[in-house]
Structure 1
Amino acid sequence: MQSDRPAARPVGRGAKVRTAVHAATLAELVEKGYAALTVENVAQRAGVHKTTVYRRWNDRESLLTDALAEHLAADIPIPDTGAIETDLRALAHGLVQSFASPTGQAVLAAMFTGAAHLPEIATARRRVFHDRLVRAEPVVTRAVERGELPAGTDPAELVRTLVAPIYLRLLMTAEPVDAAVADQTARVTLAAAQAGALRPASPSGRHGRG
């Protein structure tokens, strides 16, 4: 049976193809969910032949992994507002706004429910979080240089402290997640960091000096 979806216009090569396929993958995910996601439908929506997709991605799992990582990296940018307080608020608000959108909801469902059992999706989650840590490190470095945070503040611990309450509400308690939650999370994270609680623990279990 021929699809009633209008034929997509052909796209170019290279980066344009990758962008179009990523966008099509997320659109299919939003409309149909992970279980109904197929390379064929993604290719049709993107305006490319399915062999073009398979040349770049081995299967739908690798395609989805790449699309999810790229989307989250672009959708939640790392801020540089000039102050750690506003940087943390911007990060928290970006996370809340991203996952409040239909695409964000579909991404959450794919990463933590529908496709959560797949090793590739677990890899995607690790890849995304590692990317956040790497990109957030300058936020902490600049804050330490400005004297806003203690030396030795761990960027990984800061990001974990910031995102954990938001993910708890999204994935466990189903409590509302809004701007007020983002602000509170940023305040708690800032207080913990300024108190020296987000520095790596020493072998004896105490935080290092700084």
Structure 2
Amino acid sequence: MTDPLASPPDRRPGGRTARVRAQVLDAVRAELAERGHEGLTMEGVATRAGVHRATVYRRWRDVGGLLVDVITAAGEIDWQPPDTGSLPGDLTALNEEIQQSLVVQPSFALALMAASFHSEQAARAQTRLWTDRYAQCEVLVERAVERGELPAPHPDARSLLVAATAPIYHQLVLLRAGPDPRLPRRAARAAVLAAAAGAFRAPRQDREESDREQSDREESA
């Protein structure tokens, strides 16, 4: 899943309202990248966008509204998960997209993530966005199951995707380290090997195994 927070969506045709929105959201991204979420103000965005501040207040109301719309716009990107013909290839391509997006605009991505801890509106919008993105990427696991790449019982797709992509965020966001060209493939392969070993069972499978273990303990007591 390409990092939707680090890349502006493709422009869509529209009238003055669409143009103003595009100008304002571009200004929000730039302000976040330069000043961080603490320096984001309605006046600063209006000035950078070349829009009267009354227009910004009328449509977005406050900084929280601006953040929500930036995240909403990220969800409007016309993007499809990679399809390389194999699960390791798909996850590697996904990780490469994430790594590239975080390298292109790291300060903006970090500022927007930080903002979600200070704005309940932004936090809810970001949760919705990532929930949708992970759901969209579950097709990678579904295709792998159809190809016979993963043994039964099949893994929980969300858990596998999180495990495959997490090392990229850990490297670039948490450690603030430079990009490692080998990491996307290495993280993908590790997640696939773990899935093949049964590491990402669905919650229902875990409950069933727990019930069996409980039953075995009661019978042996």
Q: TM-score, normalised by structure 1?
A: 0.77
Change (3 A) 1:52 1:82: farther
Match of 1:33 among 36, 40, 55: 36
Alpha-carbon separation, structure 2, partners of 1:76 and 1:175: 27
For structure 1, list consecutive stretches of 5 or more residues without a partner in the other structure: 1-10
Change (3 A) 1:73 1:87: farther
Q: CA deviation at 1:67?
A: 0.9
2:214 alignment partner in structure 1: none
One-letter code aligned to 2:196:
Q
Alpha-carbon separation, structure 2, partners of 1:166 and 1:89: 11
Q: Give the alignment of 1:80-159 within 5 angstroms.
A: 80-101=83-104, 103-112=105-114, 116-150=117-151, 152-159=154-161
Aligned CA RMSD, in angstroms, stands at: 2.8
Alpha-carbon separation, structure 1, partners of 2:143 and 2:17: 36
Change (3 A) 1:119 1:30: same
One-letter code aligned to 1:147:
G
1:5 alignment partner in structure 2: none
2:66 alignment partner in structure 1: 63
Change (3 A) 1:76 1:183: farther
Change (3 A) 1:73 1:197: farther
Higher relative contact order (CA closer than 8 Å, sequence separation 6+): 2
Alpha-carbon separation, structure 2, partners of 1:46 and 1:77: 30
One-letter code aligned to 1:123:
R
Structure number with larger C-alpha Rg: 2
Alpha-carbon separation, structure 1, partners of 2:183 and 2:76: 21
Q: Deviations over 1:18-57 (max 9, x none)?
A: 3332222101111222222122222333343333333432
Q: Deviations over 1:92-118 (max 9, x none)?
A: 1111111112x2332213313x65233
Q: TM-score, normalised by structure 2?
A: 0.73
Alpha-carbon separation, structure 2, partners of 1:199 and 1:95: 25
The ranges of structure 1 where at least 4 consecutive aligned residues each deviate by more than 6 angstroms after the TM superposition are none
Q: CA deviation at 1:73?
A: 7.0
Q: How many residues align structurally?
A: 194
Q: Is the Cα contact below 8 Å between 1:158 and 1:198 reproduced in 2?
A: yes
For structure 2, list consecutive stretches of 5 or more residues without a partner in the other structure: 1-13, 211-221
Change (3 A) 1:150 1:34: same
Match of 2:199 among 197, 200, 204: 197
